Chains A and B, each alone.
Chain A
Amino acid sequence: MAEKFLTRLPAEIRPVLDNGVPAVMVTCSADGIPNVTIISQVHYVDDTHAALSFQFFSKTIRNVRENPKAYVMVSDVIGQANWVLELEFQRSETDGPIFDAMDMQIEAIASATGMSGIFKLRAADIYRVLSVEKLSHVARAEA
């Protein structure tokens, strides 16, 4: 069951975003066909915006370009909760502080795993937060 329903990102979600990824992202094409995928980063931009990592040309990108709405679920392992963010795509950034911060993390992993140049950040997609819902693991288990 939902513990909270917010329109802004609360402060407590920041460590969840740091620790909780990879996250599950759900998009839907213009003709209503949904798509679920995993993304490596959900970056806290401010309390009304989050940035998602765009690493691969996939259905997700196509869907978002057709239908800007998306859902992201982040698992809080420590807090034993899932957070569901309702987002709306606004723009893609390929440089700047947001892109750099996200890129560093990805590159740190990629360079150590022999995937430099493949596993990389192509853009930081900026989404506006439409709603935030915190789901308790226990509640979900009960449900």
Chain B
Amino acid sequence: MADSSHGQDDPAAELARKTAELQVVQRVSSEINTTLDLEEIYDIALRTMDELFEFHHANILLLEPGGETLMVVASRGYENQAIGGRVRIGTGVVGVVAQKRKLLQVSNLGQQRAYAAAQRRQIMKAGRHAELGDTVHVPGLPNAESQIAIPLLIRDELIGVFSIESPVRRTFSEHKRGLVSIVVNQIASAIHNARLYEEQTRTAKALEAANATLEARVAERTVALERELRVAHELLSEARNRVEGPLLGESAAVRALRDAIAREAPRTEPLLLTGPPGAGEDTVAHALHGASRRTGAFIYVSCPELRTHLRPTPPGAGSELPLANKFELAVGGTLFLDAVHELPSSLQPALQQALDRDERSRVNRASPVPDVRVIASTSRDLTRDAQSGRLDPIMRLLLKTRIALPALVDRRDDIPMLVDYFVRRHARQLGKVVDGVSAESMKRLETYMWPGNIRELRTVLERAVLLSKSTVLEIDEELLDEGVAVGSYRLVEPLGAGGMGEVWLARHRLLARPAAVKLIRHDVTGMAHEQLVQRFQREAQVTAGLRSPHTVQLYDFGVNDSGSFYYVMELLDGLDLQRIVTDFGPQPAERVIMLLRQTCRSLAEAHAHGLVHRDIKPANLFVTRLGSEYDYLKVLDFGIVKDQPGQEATLLSSQGITQGTPAFMAPELVFGENRIDGRADLYSLACTAYWALTGQLPFRASTAAQMLLHHAQTPPVPPSEVSELLIPPELESLLMMCLEKNPAKRSASALDLDSRLARVRCEWPWTEDRAREWWEAHAPDIVAGRERVRKAP
């Protein structure tokens, strides 16, 4: 389809040529607008131009960023390697076209160059070398004779140049120039659109990448911020805990303690902290000092250590000096005397003197003394000392203001929070990552007795963190074992709480023998601690003196490291009579007789020792399986026993009365008579038998007082009248006799009652086989040993 500039075509050929050209233009228009791929567009453009003009070489050059140069992006023909070549704006045919933004056709490049070269030589001959520049290489045919270059314009803005070259002289007619302009305009539009699309795609990808980077950075920053926040929280928590530490928690006991600290902190009087060892007395002292806003120092003095450090001094040499120095250091602040009961006797006068002077100063508001707040701590039971009149003057002065620290077992609810605090703190100190303790370990920690209180808790957790190889702490029994100080026994799990204290399943540390350990509860209300201790001791001593196989056996008793009394009893498997009747209904007379007789044997021994149980009731008669013997009865709870007639019943607890004892209480106890003997127990036993036979109490009352009045005044209804079960008349007569208001009308003794019961005839005696069958039917787990239903004394 080359242009024929020389000679005239005939009209038909001209028409055919133009039709073909038009088809090419239409096709290029169609093809070039269906793609946004630049390489494809270049290919279409070059191919179309070749088809239209049959050139030897063609270049597509695009304006580069900065607008100073054009670069060959596509090439077809003689010199493909032109791709990547650059042309400066204003240089050569292409550069001038780009500069002028107009089509340029040069048809005699060879002659033009020759003419220019001749002119150059003339100039050089004239000695004007300096005016000449270097010859510039432009990409393209080196021997091009004809060249036409067309600017690629979009809205008059140059985007590039399309250049066609040929080594022969050729020329383009006006028609061809018009045609090439049309095609080039389409190419320019297509390139422009594709570049826009490419740019948008690149921008979108860049945006996407930037977004991804940004998201990653935001996520990274978020994690970092969260970490910083967590650290800040931990620091804040640590700062707060530095004051609170073991005072963390929400139990009533620790809240009361914090209230007491807030109340006492601003005061100046000496203050005594009492409580079991390791309960956090130094922390409380620190908290008091911190909350006092005193500007002076907090001086800690370990009184036992003072004893160690004191050296023998000659008389009058001033042995009080160490304490005096501490007082001076504490001016304006707080002097904390830890374990003040162990203050060496040689220093006691100095302390007493200081406390006396301080008190006089406060009372008289004269003779000012150094401003030192004295806080002391002791784990000694001062109540006993006070009652026995052995309280020394220092303690008397200190006791005027006192804060009692709770034992850890009295604030069990706080244990998880304290565990978390100590674990995190110690893990941080050791540089370990510990998320917490396992659920099983936490349960173990919560049920442990903590004789060493918070100090022991902290020690156990520190050891656990130290030894741990996991992020979840496991605290086995061995770690806790070392802290138990309940004689030779290790507490395993709580069995329940009675009127006097908690009962725990325990195991002998060497023999592994199971046992029940009973500890005095610290939170018993209505009874002074001293009274509780006395009662506890009495129960232990009395029980230890009894040898009847039907009296629960005492293994051991004493005081543990935290000052709590305990005694260790045999562990029983079975059910108490209260539960048997409650769960399985009234029991047959022959079984009741058999149980009553065993009770009588236990009581007979106690009565023979002058002891009255005073609390015989179904819950204290424990029916157990002892080896192969079933329905073996044990009498429990000699806690309110009275050891001789005429002694005041000072140990009777009000709690015991309101919890059911009144239902089984003999009239002479109701009246508070001084002369109480074993027949009071027989009355209670008769009430118990009445309950076992009928499932009902001898009297019905809505209040304890009404019940007591019935015992004192109302004759009971015979049990046979309230029960559909057969009750032998002899048995009923014996029970009604024992239920007489007047003790003299009752059976004379437990042994007497036992022998009378032995004579009661039953049509179907309660045999070993029947007993075993009952247990197998009603408590198979106990029979099989799968479940231990335990009753603690």
Interface presence of B537 (CB below 8 A): no
Most buried by B among A40, A78, A104: A104
- Contact partners of B111 in chain A: CB under 8 A: 21-22
- Nearest-CB residue, chain B, relative to A113: B116
Chain A 15-43 per-residue mask, 1 if CB under 8 angstroms from chain B, else 0: 10011111000000000000000101000
**Given A19-B169, A21-B111, do A110 and B116 touch, yes or no (CB 8 Å)?**
yes
* Min C-beta distance of B114 to chain A, whole Å: 8
Interface presence of A1 (CB below 8 A): no
Interface presence of A109 (CB below 8 A): yes
Interface presence of B93 (CB below 8 A): yes
Q: How many A-B residue pairs have CB under 8 A?
A: 97
* Stretch of B65-73, B100-108, B752-760 that contacts chain A: B100-108
Chain A 98-111 per-residue mask, 1 if CB under 8 angstroms from chain B, else 0: 00100011011111
- Contact partners of B95 in chain A: CB under 8 A: 108, 111
On whether the beta carbons of A114 and B115 are closer than 8 Å, the reply is no
Can you add 6 more A-B contacts, CB < 8 Å, to A21-B112, A104-B102, A108-B93? A19-B108, A19-B169, A111-B96, A113-B113, A115-B119, A116-B133
In chain B, positions 122-139 with a C-beta closer than 8 Å to chain A are 123, 128, 131-136, 138
On whether the beta carbons of A104 and B100 are closer than 8 Å, the reply is yes
Interface presence of B181 (CB below 8 A): no
* Min C-beta distance of B115 to chain A, whole Å: 5
Interface presence of A117 (CB below 8 A): yes
**A108–B200 Cα gap in the complex (Å)?**
36
Q: How large is the interface on B (under 10, 10 to 19, 20 to 34, 35 or more residues)?
A: 35 or more
Cross-interface CB contact of A119 among B90, B100, B119, B136, cutoff 8 Å: B119
Cross-interface CB contact of B92 among A19, A108, A118, A119, cutoff 8 Å: A108
On whether the beta carbons of B116 and A115 are closer than 8 Å, the reply is yes
- Nearest-CB residue, chain A, relative to B104: A104
Most buried by B among A78, A104, A108, A113: A108
Interface presence of A77 (CB below 8 A): yes
Most buried by A among B104, B109, B112: B112
On whether the beta carbons of B6 and A18 are closer than 8 Å, the reply is no
Interface presence of B91 (CB below 8 A): yes
**A107–B96 Cα gap in the complex (Å)?**
7
* Min C-beta distance of B207 to chain A, whole Å: 42
**Given A18-B105, A109-B113, do A114 and B133 touch, yes or no (CB 8 Å)?**
yes
11 A-B contact pairs sorted by A residue (CB < 8 Å): A15-B171, A21-B112, A104-B96, A104-B104, A105-B106, A108-B97, A108-B104, A111-B90, A111-B95, A112-B113, A115-B116
- Nearest-CB residue, chain A, relative to B95: A111
Interface presence of A79 (CB below 8 A): yes
In chain B, positions 547-594 with a C-beta closer than 8 Å to chain A are none
- Contact partners of A21 in chain B: CB under 8 A: 108, 111-112, 115
- Nearest-CB residue, chain A, relative to B105: A18
Interface presence of B5 (CB below 8 A): yes
- Nearest-CB residue, chain B, relative to A56: B119
- Contact partners of A79 in chain B: CB under 8 A: 6
- Contact partners of A100 in chain B: CB under 8 A: 100, 102
Interface presence of B255 (CB below 8 A): no
**A19–B106 Cα gap in the complex (Å)?**
8
* Min C-beta distance of B215 to chain A, whole Å: 52
